[in-house]
Structure 1
Amino acid sequence: MHTVQINLNSIDKVKAFVHSVNTFNTEFDLVSGRFVIDAKSIMGIFSLDLSKPINLTIYNDDDAEIMESLKPFLVQ
């Protein structure tokens, strides 16, 4: 399990992100303040404050393919 920060500041980014994480057979959670949302749920994501970066918890260790697919969303 590890956590990265992502930025989903547009509708197109949210749709691309959900499509990307749904291709993997692992669990992802988005954490914003005290709210924890399933990252594969587009409706759940839209309930969060998307104006600032969000923490993404990935419940899979050492998967370079997942990190590669998340590059467009990562906060540098």
Structure 2
Amino acid sequence: MQKLKIRFQKADDVFQFVKALRQFDFDIDLSSGHQVVDAKSIVSAVALSGASDLMLTIHNDDCGSVIESISPYITA
């Protein structure tokens, strides 16, 4: 499992982010505060997209390909 901070600059970023994540067969969550949603759900991702404290949780030990596919949205 790995956690990453995420930030979207524009609305289209959310759609591209979800599209990239849908190729993976394991669970990936997006959270803000106490709210946790399925990161592969466009409706859920859009609902949280304006938050400043977005965290992505990848529920798999092999996270390299996920990280590569969403690298533009990962913050330090």
| TM-score, with structure 2 as normaliser | 0.89
Quote the offset at 1:63 in angstroms.
3.0
Q: SS at the partner of 1:46?
A: helix
Q: Using the alignment, how far apart are the partners of 2:24 and 2:45 within structure 1? A: 18
Aligned residue number for residue 63 of structure 1: 63
Q: Aligned ranges for residues 1-76 of structure 1 at < 5 Å?
A: 1-48=1-48, 50-76=50-76
Over aligned residues, Cα RMSD in angstroms? 1.4
Quote the offset at 1:17 in angstroms.
0.2
Please list every run of at least 4 consecutive aligned residues from structure 1 whose deviation after the TM superposition is greater than 6 angstroms: none
For structure 2, list consecutive stretches of 5 or more residues without a partner in the other structure: none
Amino acid at match of 1:7: R
Quote the offset at 1:51 in angstroms.
4.5
Amino acid at match of 1:24: F
Deviations 1:23-55 (A, max 9, x none): 111111011011001001111112225241410
